[in-house]
Amino acid sequence: MTNTPRKPGFHVAAFATALALVVVLLGAYTRLTHAGLGCPDWPGCYGFIHVPSSEAQLAHAEQHFPEAPVEAQKGWNEMIHRYFAGTLGLLIAGLAVHALLRRGRDGQPLRLPLLLLGVVIAQAAFGMWTVTLKLWPQVVTAHLLGGFTTLSLLFLLALRLSGAVQPLQRAGAPRRLAAFALALVALQIALGGWVSSNYAAVACIDLPMCHGQWWPQMDFANGFHLTQHIGPNYLGGQLDSDARTAIHMTHRIGAFCVVAVLLVLAWRMQRVGLIYPTALMLLALSLQVGLGISNVLLHLPLPVAVAHNGGGACLLLSLVLVNYRLRSPVTAASIARAGRARALPALERPVAYPSQG
């Protein structure tokens, strides 16, 4: 750690990171309360910017959306999620504009804010398709992954703007293992999204076995059939029990793999002196494992299920921090030089002197 001054935009990036975590939790709450279609249109709700409530508004909703009766609670769950997501999108757009205006100054990141802007635009499209394609699992999972990607990139931007987290100057740092662990956790989050979008969280309600068997009857072909038909309403899921069991068990196996890899990574990290990042990662891992077990044994209580999504986000961010801390000093120096190099042309322009005759 050093006392490098924070760069302009740090506080906005940090606030946006916190807001992105709230949006992830709100998205989980919306899915788990079956409110993904609480508003059958996008970006409004039955043609309004809020959930219809007056008699005239309800009559309008019934006339234009006869197949989707107004359920105020579900509608508000969905709209509150959209309000927060829209606010986050505006903040990210502001960060991108700020980066463009300050490009080339003091190592100000430019590509990362622009990448974030692209991701949040894609997220808006996935949010629309989630509704218009009636919770098609592929889109719901992609939308969830987009939310976690937005959160991770904002956290990375905040780290870069903080100026406080420097690369580890030590040989033997487990950089490749940390990168693999990050990818594995991202894959496990994708599996969790597939579990959620196919309503497979309670396909197994016992531990450590499933339906009293170590290897129950499962249908992997249909469970991971990635070209399901577009058209039917996927609220509640369309798969049979064997397919959902296959999804659930795959997520469990993924959890065992994540635990094993992160324990090895923690051992390697403490050997090179990374005590605090290791402790944070293990704390997030322990929390997530405990929440996952509670989800099964308690049959998916809403607070625990939402917290499990938050735990996944915290575990992912801990791996982002670990990888940022373990990044190569050469890479970190090249990033800093690139920022300074963009500023040099303006300082090195030749001065035009008046003619002497």
Q: Is there a domain that residue 263 lies in?
A: yes
What residue type is assigned to position 42 of the chain? W
The structure tokens listed for 218 are 């499962």
| Ramachandran angles phi, psi of 45, nearest 5° | -135, 105
> Which own/partner pairs from 214-223 qualify as long-range (CB within 8 Å, at least 24 positions apart)?
216/245, 216/249, 217/242, 217/245, 218/242, 218/243, 218/245, 218/246, 218/249, 219/243, 219/245, 219/246, 220/246, 220/250, 222/246, 223/198, 223/247, 223/250
Catalytic residue among 55, 62, 78, 348: 78
CB of 47 within 8 A of CB of 59? no
What residue type is assigned to position 194 of the chain? W
Q: Is the pLDDT of residue 3 over 60?
A: no
Q: Are residues 37 and 69 in the same domain?
A: yes
Residue 348 confidence (pLDDT):
45
Q: Are residues 147 and 259 in the same domain?
A: no
From 135, 164, 193, the end of a domain falls on 164
Residue 232 confidence (pLDDT):
86
Q: Are residues 159 and 173 in the same domain?
A: no
Q: Is there a domain that residue 356 lies in?
A: no
CB of 99 within 8 A of CB of 114? yes
Q: Is there a domain that residue 242 lies in?
A: yes
Which of the two residues, 230 and 330, has the higher pLDDT score?
230
Q: Are residues 32 and 102 in the same domain?
A: yes
Q: Are residues 194 and 105 in the same domain?
A: no
Q: Are residues 146 and 216 in the same domain?
A: no
From 107, 138, 164, the end of a domain falls on 164
Least reliable range by pLDDT among 148-152, 192-196, 224-228, 252-256: 224-228
Residue 5 confidence (pLDDT):
75
Q: Is there a domain that residue 190 lies in?
A: yes
CB of 218 within 8 A of CB of 244? no
Decide: helix, strand or coil at residue 210: strand
Residue 349 confidence (pLDDT):
45
Q: Are residues 245 and 132 in the same domain?
A: no
Q: Are residues 110 and 245 in the same domain?
A: no
Which of the two residues, 353 and 26, has the higher pLDDT score?
26
From 134, 164, 194, the end of a domain falls on 164
Range of the domain at 29: 8-164
pLDDT digits (tens, 9 = 90+) for 196-218: 999 999 999 999 999 999 999 99
pLDDT digits (tens, 9 = 90+) for 146-199: 999 999 999 999 999 998 877 777 767 899 999 999 999 999 999 999 999 999
Q: Verify whether residue 78 is a known catalytic residue.
A: yes
CB of 313 within 8 A of CB of 28? no
What residue type is assigned to position 256 of the chain? F
Residue 103 confidence (pLDDT):
85
pTM: 0.89
Q: Which of 186, 183, 178 has its CA nearest to residue 274? A: 178
Average confidence (pLDDT) over 283-292? 98
Q: Are residues 38 and 184 in the same domain?
A: no
Q: Are residues 157 and 174 in the same domain?
A: no
The structure tokens listed for 158 are 């905040």
Instruction: Supply angle C-alpha 346, 351, 352, rounded to 5.
Output: 130
Q: Are residues 304 and 193 in the same domain?
A: yes
Q: What is the DSSP string of 220-279?
A: HHHHT-TTPPSSS--TT-S--HHHHHHHHHHHHHHHHHHHHHHHHHHHHHHHTT-HHHHH
Confidence of residue 229 (pLDDT cuts 50, 70, 90): confident
Tell me how far apart the alpha carbons of residues 255 and 259 are, in angstroms, rounded to a whole number: 6
Residue 343 confidence (pLDDT):
47
CB of 76 within 8 A of CB of 51? yes
Confidence of residue 106 (pLDDT cuts 50, 70, 90): confident
Q: Is the pLDDT of residue 344 over 50?
A: no
| Number of Cα atoms under 13 Å in the Cβ half of residue 259 | 12
Total number of domains constituting the chain:
2
- H runs (alpha helix) in 65-170: 72-101, 111-132, 137-162
| Ramachandran angles phi, psi of 224, nearest 5° | -120, 35
Q: Is there a domain that residue 264 lies in?
A: yes
Q: Is there a domain that residue 273 lies in?
A: yes
Q: Is there a domain that residue 114 lies in?
A: yes
Residue 355 confidence (pLDDT):
47
What residue type is assigned to position 69 of the chain? P
Q: Is there a domain that residue 26 lies in?
A: yes
What count of residues does the chain have?
A: 357
Q: Are residues 197 and 308 in the same domain?
A: yes
Instruction: Supply angle C-alpha 308, 314, 315, rounded to 5.
Output: 90
